[in-house]
Structure 1
Amino acid sequence: MWPAPVTLTGNHVVLAPLTPDHAPALRDASADGALHKLWYTSVPGPEEMEAEIERRLGLQKAGSMLPFCVMTPDETPVGMTTYMNIDTANRRVEIGSTWYRRSVQRGPLNTEAKRLLLAHAFDTLDCIAVEFRTHYMNQQSRRAIERLGAKLDGVLRSHQIGPGDAIRDTAVYSIIASEWPAVRANLTWKLEQPRC
């Protein structure tokens, strides 16, 4: 299996292989801020958590996703992220289907989680590119992706049909292997800065 399940550990976050045992804490995390009610993103509601974990694990078995439980350093689950749309032949992955409980947003957790995932993708898996996708209207997510150093590849217009038959335009970003050293240096620098 490429990529194989792995635990990635930093100072602010632990990314562990997702299991059904994470469901109770992830139900609580989803309820924090009612993230599942945002129309421009797809966060499972508390009552949908077991089904979402099962869905992600099914995609892992099919070889198209590697799901992680996002946890604080004390191993409290606070969200999910994945390598998805895995393209083994071309050594490409997308980092996506990411969400975090409201109380850990806008802190170092996301920056470090992305740094860990990018480092594993480029330094261990030898990826040629890592992609990010988000709803065109999700400005918070787009700003976070751009702060990582990803560049906008383009917008897929009328790309998907979402809840309530809303049409989604998808903003597609990527970081390529030659950009990784500069992106890594920038993310490391950001993590070393004091936060007010």
Structure 2
Amino acid sequence: MSAAEHSRTASVPTTAMEQPRRVELGNDRVRLEPLGAQHVEGLRAVVADGEIWRAPYAPHVPAPDRVEEHVAAQCASDEAGTTLSWAVLEQGSGRVVGHTTFLNISRRDRRLEIGTTYLAGSVQGTGINAAVKLALLTHAFETLGCLGVEFRVHHLNTASRRAVERLGAQQDGILRAHRILPDGTVRHTVVYSILTWEWPGVRASLEHRLAR
């Protein structure tokens, strides 16, 4: 059933979803801990691993000397209830390997965005990203009761676009000239989403990928 067909035949809750809370999430591969000052040193190592803070189209990744400031700003936003951020840890080793956030939270419309995600260079392509998304999407759809979850990507960031598409997210459109980046370039933002009736299939696909 297409999204248009579903919208004509199915009703959704008219009450606001609950406010996302600072809770630990995880699965066999990763543990997501609510972000705090205790993660600063680990995240410094993350951004230095592969020098991911120098990557093009990733202004959300802080340089090593800006990590403490970045974490403090994220925590303040979390306390205000506008975002919810986690440090990503490997199960078993307990090593900090990344960062991720719920943002653009709309309780009334039961919708949020997963963004500002970055992972250490050494764990990219190992299945960690799929495990992180499985934990976040499970919480969003099965605990919070989201109707939709968004992903927003720089139009030139083909690697991230392909990664989002592999999740099973559908492209909604492009916000043209959406942002002026710190270097003065203009970002067109590609918007993707997964809807609640698409989630069972997305979950099965993610679980299959991780089992392999």
With the length of structure 2 as denominator, give the TM-score of the two structures: 0.89
> Residue by residue, what CA displacement relative to the aligned partner does 1:84-124 show, whole Å, maximum 9, x if unpaired?
11111111110000000100001111101101100100000
1:44 and 2:62 aligned: yes
1:121 to 140, 145, 155: 140
Please name the residue that 2:99 is paired with: 80
1:58 and 2:56 aligned: no
Cα distance in 1 between the residues matched to 2:138 and 2:26:
12
1:168 to 178, 187, 203: 187
Considering only CA atoms, is the larger Rg found in Structure 1 or Structure 2? 2
RMSD over equivalenced CA pairs, Å: 1.0
Deviation at 1:39, TM superposition (A): 2.7
Match runs of 1:117-196 below 5 Å: 117-193=136-212
Write out the 4+ residue segments of structure 1 that deviate beyond 3 Å after TM superposition. Answer: none
Please name the residue that 1:89 is paired with: 108
Cα distance in 2 between the residues matched to 1:129 and 1:9:
21
Cα distance in 1 between the residues matched to 2:186 and 2:37:
32
Contact kept in structure 2, 1:68 and 1:81, CA below 8 Å: yes
Cα distance in 1 between the residues matched to 2:56 and 2:137:
28
Q: Where does the alignment leave 5 or more consecutive residues of structure 2 unmatched?
A: 1-17
> Residue by residue, what CA displacement relative to the aligned partner does 1:35-80 show, whole Å, maximum 9, x if unpaired?
1112311211110001110111111122110000011112211110
Counterpart residue identity of residue 164, structure 2 = I
Counterpart residue identity of residue 61, structure 1 = E
Deviates more, 1:31-40 or 1:90-99: 31-40
Identity of aligned residues (%): 43
Three-state SS of the structure 2 residue aligned to 1:141 is helix
Cα distance in 2 between the residues matched to 1:89 and 1:55:
25
Cα distance in 1 between the residues matched to 2:23 and 2:120:
22
Aligned length: 193
Cα distance in 1 between the residues matched to 2:166 and 2:126:
13
Contact kept in structure 2, 1:39 and 1:163, CA below 8 Å: no
